[in-house]
Structure 1
Amino acid sequence: MEVMSKQTATEPILSVRRIQLEDIPPIVNYWTSASDAHLERMGSDKTKLPNATQFQTDLQHIYDTPDQEAKTFYSIWLVNNQAIGFSSLKNIAYGESGEMHLHIWNGDFRGKGYGPRLFCLSVLDFYKRFKLKKLKCEPRASNPLPNRMLQKIGFPLIDSFVGASSEISLVVELNRYDLPIGIAERYLANVRPPVIQE
C-alpha cells in the first residue's frame, strides 16, 4: 500500500510506503551517526542505542514480520520517490492503538513543509493497515519542530508529563497528542496540491 500526493508544476510527489530492505542502512546510519546534540534534542539516550549490527538485525525482523503480528512498523517518507525519513509506529495493538514517532534523516528536506503532509499520510496508512481506533504521538516538550508541526496540523495536545517515549529514550518532559484520523484527512484535503490515495 502506498499513499501519495498529487504533483503540480512546482510541487514534488510526496508518498509513504512500507519499509524495504534498502531503507535499513539509512535508518541505521541516521541513529548511529546522530550528534549528541541531535539525540539530546529528541530526548534519545545514546547509552540505550543498539550498535549498528543489532539495529540492522532488529530492522530486518520488523521487515519480516506480518502486519497482524507487528509490534513495531516503519513507514518510509518519500519525496519524488527519494526516501528522506520515516515515521515509526510502536507498541502496536492490532485493531486498537499505536504510538507514532517521526524522523527526517535527510536534513536538506527539513523546513520545506513536507513533514506535516508526510506525517498525515502515515497516520492514514497506520489507521487502515492496522485497523486502529486511536493513535498518539509523544514528542519531547522542549523539541520545537515536532510540536509545531503537530499543532499546525491541528492535533490536540492532551497532556504533558515526565516519562520515556520509547525504549531508547531519556526520561524527560513529553507532550502527548491525540491523532484522530479525521484531523489528518481534513489537513490533507485542505493543502495544495490535493492529496490522493492510490
Structure 2
Amino acid sequence: MVDYFVGASDEALLAMGVDRAKLPRREDWITQALADHERPAESRDRFYLAWLLDGEQVGHSSLGNIRPGHQAYLHLHMWRPELRRSGVGTRFLKLSIEFYFKKFDLQRIVCEPYAENAAPNRVLTKLGFRLIGRRRTVPGPFAFEQEVNEYELAAPLTASQ
C-alpha cells in the first residue's frame, strides 16, 4: 500500500487528491503502518484489506476513524489501471464493505472521495451509497484542499431487525 502511493506519478496523485509533499518518508510510513497493524483491530488508526487477483495485489480498501458499533470512513484504490472500469474493483469493494459492516458492527460507512475523481464516485453510487452533499475540505493528512462528495451507506437489515 505504501509503495502504491510513494511510487505513483504526480499526475496520478493529483487525480486522487493527494499532495506528494505531505506523504511521509517510505520507511517512516511502513514503520507506523506495521505498528498500527499490531494493535487490536478495534483500536487501530486504520484497517486495511488487500485486494488479490490471481495471487497478486491489485488494490486495497481501508477504514479509518473507526467507531465500532457506529460508523467508519472508507477509502479505496484500484492500483492496476488496466483493471479499472472492468468491474473487478466494484466486486472487491462490495466484499470489503460486507466484511467491514460485520467486523466492526457498523451502522453506517461514510466515504468522501475527491469530487473530481470520477471512478470512486461512480463505484460508490453503483454499490448503493447515498450522496449526502459536497463540501470543500482537506479530507486527510496527505490531501490538498479540495471539493469532496460525501456518501453514506447504512448497514443492511438483518433477519433479527
Q: TM-score with structure 2 length normalisation? A: 0.91
Contact 1:77–1:86, Cα closer than 8 Å, also in 2: yes
Moved beyond 6 Å, runs of 4+: none
Q: Deviations over 1:69-128 (max 9, x none)?
A: 122110111223432110011111122211001012223322221111111111111111
Alignment check: 8 A CA contact 2:106 2:155 kept: no
Once residues 82 and 114 of structure 1 are traced to their aligned partners in structure 2, the CA distance between those partners, rounded to angstroms, is 13
- Deviation larger for 159-168 or 74-83: 74-83
Identity of aligned residues (%): 36
User: Matched residues in 1 for 2:79 and 2:97: separation?
Assistant: 19
Which of 77, 96, 101 pairs up with 1:122? 96
Stretch moving more, 52-61 or 72-81: 72-81
Partner of 1:106: 80
Aligned to 1:168: 142
Query: Of the candidates 105, 130, 137, which is equivalent to residue 156 of structure 1?
Result: 130
Q: How does 1:51-62 map to 2 (within 5 A)?
A: 51-62=25-36
Residues 77, 118 of structure 1: 8 Å contact kept: yes
Count of residues in correspondence between the two structures: 158
Query: Which one of the candidate residues 5, 8, 24 is aligned to 1:50?
Result: 24
Structure 2, unpaired ranges of 5+: none
Instruction: State whether residues 71 and 93 of structure 1, in contact with CA within 8 Å, keep that contact through their aligned partners in structure 2.
Output: no
Structural RMSD (CA): 1.7
Q: 1:41 to 1:151 in 2, by over 3 A?
A: same
Higher relative contact order (CA 8 A, sep 6+): 1
Where does the alignment leave 5 or more consecutive residues of structure 1 unmatched?
1-26, 184-198
Does the Cα contact within 8 Å between 1:75 and 1:87 map onto a contact in 2? yes
Secondary structure of residue in 1 paired with 2:13: helix
In the alignment, which residue of structure 1 is the partner of 2:118? Answer: 144
